[in-house]
Chains A and B, each alone.
Chain A
Amino acid sequence: MEKADIQDYKFLFILDAVRKDHTSLYNYGRNTTPFLKEISNESTIFNWSFAPSSFTRASVPSILTAKYSINTINGFSKIPSSEYTLIKDIKQKGYKTALFTANIITSSEVLGLDSVFDYVWEDFNETEINRPDILFSSAKSVFLALKKYVDNNKNKKNFIVVHLMEAHGPYTPDIESIFEQDKIFNKDKRKITRIAPDSFLGITKAVLDKYAVAPRYQLLNTLKGPNGEIEDYETNVNKYIAKYDMGIRKLDDSLKEFINYLKFKKLYDSSTLAITTDHGELLGENNIFFSHGNDTSPALINIFLLIKFSGQKQKKEINSNTSLIDIIPTIFNLESKLIDGKNALKKDKQELIYSFHPQCVSVIDKNLMLMLHNGPYSSEIQILQNKMSGDLLFLTKEMEIKNFVENFSKFNSDTHISFFKKNNSAFKEVKNIDKYDVSSMTNHILKLLLQKNFSNLSNKITTIDDQFKKDFETIQNQIDNLEKIKKNIINLETLLNQKEEFLKKIQDSEWYKLWQSYNYIKKIVKNKL
């Protein structure tokens, strides 16, 4: 094959903090992702995809290693470059690997990517409005660099990861939102009533019951004091959400522009494009606004994923559960016992999916999500600050179910267990669960939880317990009936045997012979007559 014929580009686009239900892919009321909708007609849509964690620092390394955080060395803190064996495997397959990131959290220094990728672009050139020492870069500058890179590496096999920040807060502070004053905007009358520190320190269930809380770094339209203190801020929730949606639209527009460029260069058809996010965003769930990394609830971890495979022309929908740790094994068709991720197109449909957070874990079954949360709503910053003290964390590196249930049971204050059931394309919180929703694995977790005594969980546990008792009784009755039938069958068999024996005895008896002789004689006499 001529060198010029090699056209193998595999792109992985991570659009930070984009909520599934705020995309046009899932029929959001605003036209946020017209381009994703368009490209979905020739892509594979994974309708039930899950982020392996709810914050970038944990989620992206999981995506890049195809391992859950707690299966990597150091778990939620910096993992060593030796963990990125997957990227090394891809290199071995002859791919040139590159990372283009607009997020300083996925910079090579923070992620420990020391010479993992062949090339890393990380020119952070903009400053966040409320955190003057946090840098990022715009999609515009990322794509400018990416186009140059694509041009310069045309005759190679390429794997390129691109991480973009437009939807991450503070939401598009410099751009007017096209969604202001629309129906959704005018309907939303909610107001922010309290600011939390970026670490969410001190935010408990009691605070959330009373106030609508947003972290300080997200505040827009602020009046700032001379020492950086905020004297006033935008309190209308609709303003923020209109701007958040505008960020998603900006991402969609810039992706479209880049893909048009690939088309123009005749690289599009042969390219594989995976487009997803690293986590969602809370927009008022549980009274938490404009935040992520607080738990692993559906708004944060049930995310969108589409993959346009090279040459794909038809839309395909996958409705079994998929994790983002499956993306790389899927686009490279990789199988390995050393990783947790699998080719999503060949996956066992019954397999459970997890999402991990140092103080929370979600287990996703066929139709149900189970979430265990230890109570505080600390964000990643505080979790990282407290990682040594362990006073907030119940997850350890060992992933076995018995360990996380065991650890979870140590938290006796403000812990909660929640159930969410699939409902159209989203999850809905439910109080009771149906036995058909849970597989034997989830059953096992629930049983382990039931063995523990949480006073504040008794209601839910009782609900589950009652359900189990009911189910058990039904099955027990059925078994009892079967036993009865079985007994009757055995009795019948015995009777039949006895009948056989009796017949044999009769046949062997003198009386029977006599009776046979009698019948014989009777027959002859009849004939003679």
Chain B
Amino acid sequence: MTLKDKIKQAKKVIKEAAEKWDNNTIAVAWTGGKDSTLILHLVKETFNGKIPFKVMFNDSTLEFPEIYDFVKKYEKDWKLDLKWVKHLPEDLESYKNTNNLEEQMEIMRIAKINAINFALAEYNLNAFISGIRKDEHESRSQENYFSKRSTHWRVHPILDFTINDVWDYIHQFKVPYVNLYDKGYKSLGEKPFTNPVSDPNAPERAGREATKEKTMKRLRALGYW
């Protein structure tokens, strides 16, 4: 499959979603990162420069300042129906109440889905378009373009894109992106947990594998003995 084919397929998925549900009940999940910005660009291309769906930005309050500037700029330039969804106050409170980095990361991972689920109910959404790709992680390799969840549908237009496809598309169609990628960041998470990667060949994400020692180490760290 060439990039051209993949673009064609992605646009087909987006169109199908638009036909399937009331466009008011569809939202694009936008993080300000390269993949979800690419999705916004694709939607814009599919509908002659307009984005007919809601756009949901989930704000952890811990994003890079560059991300906030970027989101604000393109909200205006691209005339987005932007829903600024902040993490729930209780999760932010818990975050403040612990100094343990691993626990802070866990709270933030959970806070994201808690906020998204809150917004799905709040805006009565039927479908949620996100920029996940099969090549990112093994757990995503089994995903489909349309994935039925317990409360809504997930739509994955760029499932077939590789990391190289993403950058090729961005350069070819002059899609804007946050300059952090040029500073060595491979994947943008919350600011306190994200560092630039010095090795250019490092994998985009690292996998984990269980061993008894690892488990024992974790249990020991948790205070089991």
Contact = CB atoms under 8 A, between A and B. Distances in A.
Contacts of B225: 77-78, 109-110, 112
B215 A134 contact: yes
B216 A196 contact: no
Interface in A189-246: 191, 193-199, 201-202, 206-207, 216, 221, 223-236, 239
B48 interface: no
B222 interface: yes
Interface string B110-138: 10111011000000000000101000110
B165 interface: no
B224 A201 contact: no
B107 A226 contact: no
A73 interface: no
A496 interface: no
B150 A235 contact: yes
A329 B186 CA distance: 61
A201 B103 contact: yes
A133 B218 contact: yes
B50 interface: no
A105 interface: yes
Contacts of B93: 202
B90 A202 contact: yes
Nearest to A202: B94
B107 A227 contact: no
A151 B109 CA distance: 49
B223 A387 contact: yes
A134 B222 CA distance: 12
| Residue of B205, B218, B222 ringed by the most chain A CB atoms within 10 A | B222
Nearest to B95: A202
B215 A124 contact: yes
B210 A226 contact: no
B69 interface: no
- Give the residue among A77, A191, A202, A229 with the most B Cβ atoms within 10 A: A202
A235 B150 CA distance: 6
Given A202-B107, A231-B130, A384 B187 contact: no
Interface string B125-162: 00000101000110110010001011100100000000
B95 to A, nearest CB: 8
Interface in A163-213: 191, 193-199, 201-202, 206-207
Interface in B148-196: 149-151, 154, 187, 189
A302 to B, nearest CB: 26
Interface string A132-145: 11110000000000
A287 B204 CA distance: 39
B117 A193 contact: yes
Contact of A385 (B97, B107, B222): B222
Contacts of A225: 109, 132, 137
Contacts of B91: 202
Given A110-B224, A112-B225, A385-B100, A232 B154 contact: yes
A221 B150 contact: yes
Contacts of A223: 143, 147, 149, 154
A135 B147 contact: no
A369 to B, nearest CB: 29
B219 interface: yes
A239 B106 CA distance: 25
A207 B222 CA distance: 24
B106 A197 contact: yes
A60 to B, nearest CB: 12
Contacts, number: 128
A233 B120 CA distance: 13
B113 A230 contact: yes
Using C-beta atoms within 8 Å of the partner chain, give the interface range for chain A: 35 or more
B215 A228 contact: no
B154 A381 contact: no
A237 to B, nearest CB: 10
B19 to A, nearest CB: 23
Contact of A228 (B109, B151, B210): B109
B113 A196 contact: no
A384 B116 CA distance: 31
B189 A227 contact: yes
Contacts of B189: 227
A384 to B, nearest CB: 4
A133 B107 contact: no
B4 interface: no
Interface centre among A134, A199, A232, A233 (most CB of B within 10 A): A232
A104 interface: yes
Contact of A105 (B90, B94, B112, B224): B224
B212 interface: yes
A57 interface: yes
A412 interface: no
Contacts of A77: 223-225
B113 A233 contact: yes
B209 interface: yes
A78 B208 contact: no
B14 to A, nearest CB: 19
Contacts of A221: 150
A495 B204 CA distance: 107
Interface string A253-273: 000000000000000000000
Nearest to B209: A132
Contacts of B107: 197, 201-202
A195 B210 contact: no
A127 interface: yes
Nearest to B193: A227
B212 A135 contact: yes
Interface of B: 90-91, 93-94, 97-98, 100, 103, 106-107, 109-110, 112-114, 116-117, 130, 132, 136-137, 139-140, 143, 147, 149-151, 154, 187, 189, 204-205, 208-212, 214-216, 218-219, 222-225
Given A224-B140, A228-B208, 16 more contacts: A57-B224, A104-B216, A110-B225, A112-B225, A132-B210, A133-B214, A133-B215, A197-B103, A197-B106, A202-B93, A202-B94, A226-B137, A226-B205, A227-B109, A231-B154, A232-B154
21 contacts: A77-B223, A77-B224, A77-B225, A105-B219, A124-B212, A124-B215, A134-B215, A134-B218, A194-B114, A197-B94, A202-B94, A206-B90, A221-B150, A223-B154, A224-B139, A225-B109, A225-B137, A226-B187, A226-B204, A235-B151, A384-B223
| 8 interchain residue pairs of minimum CB distance | A202-B94, A384-B223, A78-B225, A229-B109, A226-B137, A226-B136, A226-B205, A127-B210
